[in-house]
């Protein structure tokens, strides 16, 4: 059904290009998810009997694509999770916005509040209720009134990029949930472009880059 793009794999980790429109992890919908797809790939490739261990250490929104790492051992899962807790895993995204962003680079710092029932995140001025969210961005290209930007996440909050930009009047193409005019059900123009972390056993820094090939990135890059 889906052809997985495996970026890198060894005995401890596997790095894949997440498919836009596919869940990171299964939920009540029973829709297919990346965790299941990668488990199936490992089971078939290595002819593994029984249940395949695969640790989910971070998630991408269903409508987002790009670089995602899974742990193939419990030790790797623990060490990668610790890097995330300490904000030592560097995450860089590419996004196409419906509007022209005038300021070529900048930093956004906000406090975000999540409504779990509605799965909506909003910016709040109440520092006691919200969680701090920080990102840096750089405009790479402007074409036909749209903006391609590279975004470095300093914190990793739910829907962070989507809500921080939309609160300032910049909407990711296709993201009607946060005010975009163009509505896409399965894929918005947000892509996990680069992921850097320390390998859980080799102790070496590793960086993985995945270029987005889909629309509207293909008109902007």
**Catalytic site positions:** 61
* Residues β-bridged to residue 34: none
Q: Where are the beta strands (DSSP E) in 144-212?
A: 146-153, 190-198, 205-209
- Distance, in Å, from the CA atom of 199 to the CA atom of 118, rounded to the nearest integer, reads 36
Residues in the chain, how many? 221
Which tokens in the block code for residue 113?
């509040």
Helix, strand, coil shares of the chain, percent, nearest 5, are 15, 40, 45
3 state DSSP class of 153? strand
Do residues 34 and 24 touch, judged by C-beta distance below 8 A? Answer: yes
- Distance, in Å, from the CA atom of 124 to the CA atom of 103, rounded to the nearest integer, reads 23
Q: Where are the beta strands (DSSP E) in 36-89?
A: 55-56, 65-71
From first CA to last CA, the distance across the chain in angstroms is: 28
């Amino acid at each position: 059904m889906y052809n997985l793009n495996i970026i890198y794999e060894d005995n401890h980790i596997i790095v894949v290009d997440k498919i836009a429109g596919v869940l990171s992890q299964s939920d009540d919908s029973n829709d297919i998810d990346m965790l299941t797809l990668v488990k199936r790939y490992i089971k078939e490739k290595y002819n593994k009997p029984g249940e395949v261990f695969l640790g989910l250490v971070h998630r991408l929104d269903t409508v987002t694509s790009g670089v995602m790492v899974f742990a193939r051992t419990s030790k790797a899962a623990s060490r990668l999770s610790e890097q995330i807790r300490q904000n030592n895993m560097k995450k860089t995204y590419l996004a196409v916005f419906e509007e022209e962003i005038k300021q070529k680079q900048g930093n956004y710092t906000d406090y975000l509040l999540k409504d779990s029932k509605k799965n909506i995140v909003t910016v709040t001025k109440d520092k006691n209720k919200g969680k701090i969210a920080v990102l840096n961005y750089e405009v790479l290209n402007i074409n036909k009134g749209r903006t391609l930007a590279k975004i470095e996440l300093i914190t990793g909050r739910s829907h962070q990029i989507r809500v921080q930009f939309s609160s300032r009047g910049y909407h990711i193409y296709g993201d009607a949930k946060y005010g975009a005019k163009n509505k896409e059900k399965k894929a918005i123009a947000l892509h996990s472009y680069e992921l850097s972390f320390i390998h859980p056993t080799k102790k070496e820094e590793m960086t993985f880059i995945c270029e987005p090939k889909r629309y509207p990135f293909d008109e902007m890059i």
